Amino acid sequence: MAWRKRSSRLNELAEGLVKVGALQFGTFSLPGGKDSSYYVNLRGLPSYPGVYGLAVQAIADVISKKVPKADAVCATPLTGLIFASPVAVALKKPLVYTRMEKQDNERLVEGEVRPGWNVVVVGDLTTSGRTVMSAAEAIKDEGGEVSAAVVLIDRLEGAREKLSKRGIALHAVTDMIELADTLHSMELITKDNLKAITKSVGRRAP
């Protein structure tokens, strides 16, 4: 993961996510219908400038390192826009964003995508990779190219493998196993919480 050698920054981000309630435990039904013992809700993160700033900078760092030649940044709907907007400004790259679905005469992609542009898709987290793939297809329909996506958290539930088959490399600031291990080592979650996350994601991909 991107922050494995910078544990203090990962610790700060992990602690911040717990303190603002972005990571919750219980019984949750995910958008795809799957049940989960934990829930990551990053929609309210901008209300907490400290941890929000850490998340934005982390994503920007990953793009600078892994996708330095990206011509533009594309936000996934809807929470992806929260992160992609400040990231695009920080990196001085054009921002476009995709809608959940096309309505009437509205375009599916808002903003200019020039033919041949290499566009990096940015989201908050990914589970199945479906949202990222939809955004990538919309960009391709506009004449752009997508070879990489960057998210704050990878839930480790198959997105990386599915995106790879579509020619898209997934880069994440952290993943749920690394995040859970970090939180447990800081005594911010219980051993039962750690086991619940491990059980949900299964064995970590190599």
Answer whether residue 133 is part of any domain: yes
% residues pLDDT > 90 (the chain): 71
Answer whether residue 139 is part of any domain: yes
Answer whether residue 2 is part of any domain: no
Two tokens, residue 3: 């922050």
Which helix (H) or strand (E) is 192 found in, with range? helix 191-201
Answer whether residue 1 is part of any domain: no
CATH code of the domain containing 98:
3.40.50.2020
Two tokens, residue 92: 């001085």
pLDDT in tens, 123-168: 999 988 999 999 999 999 999 999 999 999 999 988 999 999 999 9
Answer whether residue 100 is part of any domain: yes
Answer whether residue 22 is part of any domain: yes
Answer whether residue 193 is part of any domain: yes
- Its domain, for residue 146, covers 7-201
Q: Is 43 exposed, middle or buried (0-12, 13-18, 19+ CB in 10 A)?
A: exposed
Residue pair 21/48 in contact (Cβ under 8 Å)? The answer is no
Predicted model pTM: 0.89
The total number of structural domains in the chain stands at 1
pLDDT in tens, 109-119: 999 999 999 99
Answer whether residue 206 is part of any domain: no
